[in-house]
Amino acid sequence: MSEETKSLNFLEHIIEDDLNSGYSKEDLRFRFPPEPNGYLHIGHTKAIGISFGLGEKYNAPVNLRFDDTNPAKEEQEYVDAIKRDISWLGYQWESELYSSDYFQQLYDWAILLIKKGKAYVDSLSSEEIAELKGTPTQAGKNSPYRDRSVEENLDLFERMKKGEFEPGTHVLRAKIDMASPNMLMRDPLMYRIMYKSHHRTGDDWCIYPMYDWTHGESDYIEQISHSLCSLEFKPHRELYDWFLDQVVEESRIRPKQREFARLNLSYTIMSKRKLLKLVDEGVVSGWDDPRMPTISGLRRRGYTPAAIRKFIETVGVSKRDNVIDVALLEFCIREDLNKTAPRVMAVLNPVKLVITNYPENEEEWLDAENNPEDEAAGSRKVPFSRELYIEKEDFREEANRKFFRLKLGGEVRLKNGYIIKAESVIKDENGEVTEIHCTYDPLSRSGSGTEESMRKVKGTLHWVSVKHAVPAEVRVYDRLFSDEAPDGHKDKDYMEFLNPESLTLVNAFVEPSLKEAKTGERFQFQRLGYFNVDDDSSADKLVFNKTVGLRDTWAKQQKKG
């Protein structure tokens, strides 16, 4: 194996530079810090892939740290889902940690800051604080409480902790610079009063630390070397460093925050809030609806961890805003499934085909290759008989030479079976074809070795024997939004772009071997696409999800007309 020397992304350059300037490889340590307030989506996968990927590359530990400083939004359900998803992607964290583990340490440090005159209790209302904060173009003004004595601050802060005050009456703020061009440096809040029971600490605390105060110090406690986050945190870096300055010791690792551009995918949205709305309003069946860009949605849809990881690797890392073409994601799953998914036959939109010269009660079991890409996959038997289902779209009474499928007087091969010739049709009162009558060449059976079996005919159709067909529900998905950038319009809400045809229920017929298919198993329905067995599937009712269609150059040609 010739290992290609892959070029480094800018984060790897930063790490390499650190390593070259004396940083020890043993000191490398990363973290993934989700807030347990929703499910992970494909965008998070990028962040996961970056930090865990770096961990794998440098053989460095990666902590899973739940950033749980806001009990108003966070729940155990989300913690469990996040762990499940990361594990499913195939990543292993060094330690499962929680910001809430550090509440006491954070509190102690806060007192230290007060004593150093770097923090004070403000007793303004939130509106007044916002008012005095100024705007990006206008400096803020000092709070009248800014110069309280250390003693008074200590006393007030302790009483905040004891629960003597109502929410909103007091907050602890860092004393930095109300005139800073960086709004985040204008005396940011460190603590607020909140009487909410926390999913881990219960009712131990009634003051909770804010993100900025918590995050960097948590990184420091865990001795994270590189704290990687998305671009919108860039302005926070100055504050991150300021907070660190208050507590770092020379001898310990000082974490550095670096920012990368988050992932955007065409035809979808990536905001947890907006995804939650789809769930709450019943637009989708849940966080794991196969149309959702969540990891659990993609999993249920039939995506593999390998495909998702390949996708993340392929999109790369940089600092520019980007929109990845969803076609790349689809390419990645096809590439994986092409090599691994067993081929089977299923007819989604059936029309009956009768082979008039095939004996009435005969049936034969034909050999069918399970995967032409993988010889080890072996073969199976599929039943053939006089009456079959084929796809409606595979037949036309008349068609030009470009139509490789079945037409009256034309020949086609039935996959793994015989060459047939269409002779006539039966129609209903509306003129719809209800039955196609054809004849077959008994000597043309696939693999029989006869001269007739070697004959080349232009088209090959998939089919299912009527008598042996197993009914199944197939859920055919299309993109959830019809617009390339659903939340990229200033004048229109993303909900306006919902695709009414994102889910189509189809009553299909599948070959009998599928009767034993287990939940989660993935198949290629030949000539149609990749499908997997849905969680809703049961012994008496098979349910499949369409993961993704095959590349379809025929459809493209037709569109061009």
Of 83, 133, 196, 262, the active-site residue reads 262
Asked whether position 552 contacts RNA by CB under 7 A, the answer is yes
Site membership for RNA, residue 135 (CB under 7 A): yes
272 tagged catalytic: yes
- Give 114 or 333: the residue with its C-beta nearer to RNA: 333
- Binding to RNA, residues 24-53 (CB under 7 A): 33, 35
Query: Contact with RNA (CB under 7 A): which of 149, 357, 504, 557?
Result: 557
Q: Is 35 marked active-site?
A: yes
Answer yes or no whether residue 325 interacts with RNA by CB under 7 A: yes
Give residues 194-223 in contact with RNA (rule: CB under 7 A): 194, 208, 210-211, 215
Site string for RNA, 257-286 (x = CB under 7 A): ----x-------------------------
The CA-CA-CA angle for residues 114, 116, 117, to 5°, reads 65
The DSSP letter of residue 458 is S
User: Is 37 annotated as belonging to a binding site?
Assistant: yes
221-250 residues in contact with RNA (CB under 7 A) are 231-236
* Upper half-sphere CA count for residue 170 (Cβ side, 13 Å): 24
- Judged by CB under 7 A, the residue of 45, 51, 524, 532 near RNA is 524
Helix (H, G, I), strand (E, B) or coil at 26: helix
Contact (Cβ atoms closer than 8 angstroms) between residue 178 and residue 124: no
Is 270 annotated to bind a ligand? Reply is yes
Which positions ≥6 away from 276 have C-beta within 8 Å? 38
Among 105, 201, 246, 338, binds RNA (CB under 7 A): 338
Of the candidates 533, 538, 537, the residue with the CA atom closest to the CA atom of residue 520 = 533
Contact 229, 31 (CB under 8 A): no
Is residue 415 near RNA by the rule CB under 7 A? yes
378 belongs to the binding site for RNA (CB under 7 A): no
Please report whether residue 538 would count as binding RNA according to CB under 7 A. Answer: no
| Phi/psi at 290 (5° precision) | -60, -10
Q: Is there binding between residue 84 and RNA (CB under 7 A)?
A: no
* 561 scored as a contact of RNA (CB under 7 A): no
Question: Binding of RNA at residue 447 (CB under 7 A)?
Answer: yes
The single residue among 105, 182, 340, 379 that binds RNA, judged by CB under 7 A, is 182
How many whole angstroms separate alpha carbon 452 and alpha carbon 184? 79
Find residue 209's DSSP bridge partners: 191
Read off the tokens for 53.
Answer: 């990927």
Output the CA torsion 534→537→541→542 (10° steps).
40
Q: Taking CB under 7 A as the rule, does residue 459 contact RNA?
A: yes
Structure token pair of residue 19:
């390593």
Confirm or reject binding of residue 560 to RNA (CB under 7 A).
yes
Please report how close the Cβ of residue 457 comes to RNA at its closest, in angstroms: 8
Q: Is 401 a catalytic residue?
A: no
Q: Per CB under 7 A, does 456 bind RNA?
A: yes
Q: Which of 29, 272, 300, 301 is catalytic?
A: 272
Buried b or exposed e, range 43-80, using 16+ CB within 10 angstroms: bbbbbbbbbbbbbeebebbbbbbbbbbbbeebeeebbe
Task: Output the smallest distance, CB 194 to RNA, in A.
Answer: 7
Cβ within 8 Å of residue 206, ≥6 positions away = 160, 161, 163, 193, 194, 195
* Number of residues binding to RNA, judged by CB under 7 A: 93
272: annotated binding-site residue?
A: yes
Residues known to be catalytic: 35, 262, 272
